[in-house]
């Protein structure tokens, strides 16, 4: 009997466990687990040093968009078995993980392609927003240029 596909989505104000995400997609029928870990990087924006990010989400819509994303991934890579995403909310300091995504598949090529596509689509479709907080304690909400409703895309058409 074949194991059912499993999708896990979690928004959390707590530190993210990469192992928990990997365990959620583990399967004896899969020889590959592809993982993406997005971390908060120390950055200079207009001469201001980033010390962390503050995340907010429209949680029920994020869950439904995640379900739609999983369906889309499986339509493109039917061999994908399990998909898991954990995303932080609230304060995430430099060096900490803000998102962990894992996909299991029988072979690595499909999983690697699916994870690259999946994280790009997650950023483009899930209603999760971030505010950059600077060493000076100033802060700016950042528009995700990959997001489908982004005005950045309109302003920067070539």
Could you tell me which residues are annotated as the binding site for substrate? 107-108, 123, 130-132
> CA 38, CA 99: separation in Å to the nearest integer?
5
**Strand pairing category for 82-88 and 6-12:** parallel
Contact 143, 151 (CB under 8 A): yes
Point out the annotated binding site: 107-108, 123, 130-132
Residue 4 CA: distances (Å) to CA of 29, 107, 118, 154: 11, 18, 20, 41
61 Cα distance to chain centroid: 15
């Amino acid at each position: 009997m074949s194991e059912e596909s499993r999708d896990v989505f979690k928004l959390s104000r707590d530190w993210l466990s990469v192992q928990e995400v990997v365990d959620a997609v583990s399967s004896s029928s899969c020889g590959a687990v592809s993982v993406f870990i997005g971390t908060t990087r120390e950055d200079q924006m207009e001469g201001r040093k980033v010390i962390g990010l503050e995340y907010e989400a429209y949680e029920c819509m994020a869950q439904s968009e995640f379900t739609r994303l999983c369906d889309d991934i499986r339509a493109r890579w039917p061999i994908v078995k399990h998909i898991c995403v954990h995303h932080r909310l609230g304060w995430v300091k430099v060096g900490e993980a803000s998102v962990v995504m894992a996909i299991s598949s029988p072979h690595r090529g499909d999983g690697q392609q699916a994870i690259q596509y999946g994280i790009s689509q997650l950023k483009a479709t899930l209603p999760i927003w971030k505010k950059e907080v600077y060493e000076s304690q100033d802060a700016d909400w950042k528009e995700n240029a990959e997001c489908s409703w982004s005005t950045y895309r309109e302003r920067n058409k070539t």
